[in-house]
Structure 1
Amino acid sequence: MLHPEENPWKTTSEQIVYDNPWIKLTEYQVINPSGNPGIYGKIHFKNIAIGVLPLDNDLNTYLVGQYRFALGQYSWEMPEGGGIIGIDPIESAKRELLEETGLKAEMWTEIQRLHLSNSVSDELSILFVARGLRQFEAEPEDTEQLMIKKLPLEQVYQMVCKGEITDAMTVAAVLKVKLLLIENKL
């Protein structure tokens, strides 16, 4: 019998179904944990998902609003983007914060690493809090049509609790920062 943390899946074959600069989709022929044949699809992300919750001295934060093609709807979320694997994630976080909001920060704290959909993808997310903010000019990518809102963190927390913010990285970061503030750890 396998140890509970050992892989019970057996791969019999694999085929790349789709591949582009951002993702690769592979279909696996498998023997599942019960011993039966099956298939499993996995999306491999070629970048790290980076999220930054900027927090000023008055506990205000900045949300970025944009239409999300994959969802088919508008989304309010913290500044986010892709970080190239092999580059220090903090550098990607700094780039995303400046790009989307025009903000630069003096202090950076990594607050969370999480997998965004561990049933179908291997996407890793790294979340940061940025403090000591200074305003510069935003530099959005040509694929981004962004709106920026400066809001009290408490209001953003209430938006998360009411389900008005559904972006997983933003929800996780806001809840984590709220907890850190309650525990005087930030």
Structure 2
Amino acid sequence: MDKNAINPWKKLSLKQIYDNPWITVEEYQVVNPRGGNGIYGKVRFKNKAIGIIPIDEGGNTWLVGQYRFTLDEYSWEIPMGGGPLDVPVLESARRELKEETGLTAEKWTKIMRIHTSNSVTDEEGFIFLAQSLTEGSPEFDETEDLKIIKLPFEEVYQMVMEGKITDSLSVAGILKAQVLLRS
């Protein structure tokens, strides 16, 4: 990281193009790093992305499957969701794990901070390992029609390597967890 880096972009103006409870889309008139005039679009998220990799004593984890509207396809993912910007990320992680899987965890380890697509959005994500688990009943919200599966973590890692899991938070978190769990 270069903390002394100077921003080569000059923002001339900003116009809000769209707004809903989850995102705002902004359009900037800019001068780019080479001095040319242009536009830049930015999707501002109103929540942080929160992902959780629950691991039990036997080395198993849980995935949730759902049909993703934006992709128009089914997706297997780690339990995840949005955390309000003004709420501590661990508090949001605890809520999401319970909501999507029914699990609660005694041990939490933040393993990653990630930008989900830094060319078009400011979304910031956080991924946790959750251990010392207790099973319970999920509490889905009204937008969720989830399937939950419990698999050996090694099998989930192989799903990433075979391209069967493509969600960016899931892929990054599973790869990082694989390294951490092996060391």
| Normalised-by-shorter TM-score class | over 0.9
Displaced runs of 4+ in structure 1, greater than 4 A?
none
Structure 1 match to 2:104: 104
Residue identity in the other structure for 2:151? L
Q: 1:4 offset after TM fit, Å? A: 7.6
Structure 2 match to 1:164: 164
Structure 1 match to 2:125: 125
Structure 1 match to 2:56: 56
Q: 1:8 offset after TM fit, Å? A: 0.4
Q: Secondary structure at the match of 1:64?
A: strand
CA displacement, residues 52-98 of structure 1 (integer Å, 9 cap, x when unaligned) = 00000011000000001111110000100000111111111011001
Work out the CA distance in 2 between the residues paired with 1:12 and 1:91. Answer: 38
Structure 1 match to 2:155: 155
Work out the CA distance in 2 between the residues paired with 1:63 and 1:181. Answer: 18
Q: Secondary structure at the match of 1:24?
A: strand
Work out the CA distance in 2 between the residues paired with 1:95 and 1:12. Answer: 41
Work out the CA distance in 2 between the residues paired with 1:68 and 1:168. Answer: 14
Gaps of 5+ in 1: none
Q: 1:109 offset after TM fit, Å? A: 0.4
Structure 1 match to 2:83: 83
Q: Percent identity?
A: 55
Work out the CA distance in 2 between the residues paired with 1:12 and 1:166. Answer: 37
Q: Secondary structure at the match of 1:159?
A: helix
TM-score under structure 2 length normalisation: 0.97
TM-score under structure 1 length normalisation: 0.95
CA displacement, residues 9-35 of structure 1 (integer Å, 9 cap, x when unaligned) = 111111000011110100000010010
Q: Secondary structure at the match of 1:137?
A: coil
Structure 2 match to 1:73: 73
Work out the CA distance in 2 between the residues paired with 1:116 and 1:110. Answer: 17
Residue identity in the other structure for 1:179? V
Structure 2 match to 1:32: 32
Q: Secondary structure at the match of 2:178?
A: helix
